[in-house]
Amino acid sequence: MNQKVKFLNSQNSTFFATVRQRVEVHFKEKSVSKHANGAMWRKAFFYITIALTLYLLILSNQFSVWAMFGFAVLLGVCNAGLGFNVCHDAIHGSFSGNSKLNKALSFIFHFIGASPYVWNLTHNVVHHTYTNIPGHDEDIEIAPGLIRLDPEEKVNQIQRFQHLYAFGLYSLASLSWVFRKDYVKFFQKKIGQHPTVNHPKQEYFNLFFYKALYYCLYILVPLLVLDITWWQLVIGFLGLHLAEGLVMGLVFQLAHVVEGTDFPVPNEQGNIEEAWAAHQMRTTANFATRSKLMGFLLGGLNQQIEHHLFPKVCHIHYPALAGIIKQTAREFNLPYIENLTFFQALQSHYRMLKKFGPEAYQSQLKAVPIQVL
């Protein structure tokens, strides 16, 4: 699949124009900024402070190895939250109207082991444009050959059991990000079907320098400072990243790979016969939007519908936009997919793993013609 995807809006839908105008009216009538408010700044301060505190508590060398392991696991969870709540908005340019401030906050991404530049390419440019389109959105290509989330992909024998091991593989997401993913994405010729050539020279330096800095802060410094063995350090490092990876993997999948979401395939000309915004409504899902705790922990990633339509709006405002978008979608006969709780979304994703794994494998077997001797 080499063609470039185009969204044609063949039905001349005015859904996005309508919902965008209503959202603009909302902000104007409320006289509030689309960017961070006081509550958002307090969230940012909380996550940055907790992450730094946990890191320093570990380096203080004043606790038992079990306590330090617990701190490491908590730090992994907190780092995921820091990425969700601060870096994600900053890289989208929605945290602040000041681009320099957004860039400064996005640099925090380096300190949780990821490249903000590569994330911008893979997430902001590719995923947000080609959501759930096989061969274009690499977010549904988690572990090729092991996890099948692409209905166009042939099912292999291993994938019959993906519903049993997928969550374990999600836990490896953070480790892969730190040691493999950013390098691979940076140097491959294209992400999905989006060319990735002519990176700025500064980004070559940033990739290697900040990766090296991360390895020093999380591996070399603890090894030199702490009164532990190298294998205890490895266990703590793995605990941190397995916790971080599981949180990241689950949250990302519950927004796009649940029952009701589509995986549209372009026609032979590479066209999607629908407007981009309508496509987002069919490929994106919310979950646990009524939970203030989920809203605080997940940085608006549980409100992916609002985020995909308005990525330049800070996530702190998504609850206020939800009613506007839901009502407008209803008027235009578009779906507004949501699971009421985190566990309902988790169960729905599990059923999708079974659908794309063992159930698809059985259907594939039945479709093979029987050889008559």
Whether residue 291 lies inside any domain: the answer is: yes
User: Over the chain, what is the mean pLDDT?
Assistant: 93
Q: Is the pLDDT of residue 370 over 60?
A: no
Rounded to whole angstroms, the Cα distance separating 82 from 366 reads 47
Domain count for the chain: 1
Whether residue 275 lies inside any domain: the answer is: yes
Least confident of 83-97, 122-136, 355-369: 355-369
Q: Is the pLDDT of residue 122 over 60?
A: yes
pTM as predicted? 0.91
Whether residue 104 lies inside any domain: the answer is: yes
Mean pLDDT, to the nearest integer, of 151-179?
Answer: 92
- List, in order, residues 6 or more apart from 207 with CB less than 8 Å away: 115, 117, 118, 182, 183, 186
The residues with which 7 forms a beta bridge, in sequence order, are: 272
Owning domain of residue 45: 6-366
- Choice between 221 and 365, residue whose per-residue pLDDT is larger: 221
Rounded to whole angstroms, the Cα distance separating 360 from 324 reads 37
Mean pLDDT, to the nearest integer, of 36-60?
Answer: 97
Mean pLDDT, to the nearest integer, of 124-150?
Answer: 87
Phi, psi of 184 (to 5 degrees): -65, -50
**Residue 57 confidence (pLDDT):** 97
Whether residue 373 lies inside any domain: the answer is: no
Mean pLDDT, to the nearest integer, of 75-80?
Answer: 97
Whether residue 167 lies inside any domain: the answer is: yes
Whether residue 1 lies inside any domain: the answer is: no
Q: Counting beta carbons within 10 angstroms of the beta carbon of residue 38, is it exposed (0 to 12), middle (13 to 18) or buried (19 or more)?
A: exposed
Phi, psi of 124 (to 5 degrees): -65, -45
CA dihedral over 84, 86, 91, 95, signed as positive or negative: positive
Q: Is the pLDDT of residue 45 over 60?
A: yes
Whether residue 333 lies inside any domain: the answer is: yes
- Choice between 75 and 135, residue whose per-residue pLDDT is larger: 75
**Residue 22 confidence (pLDDT):** 97
**Residue 247 confidence (pLDDT):** 94
Whether residue 371 lies inside any domain: the answer is: no
Mean pLDDT, to the nearest integer, of 163-191?
Answer: 93
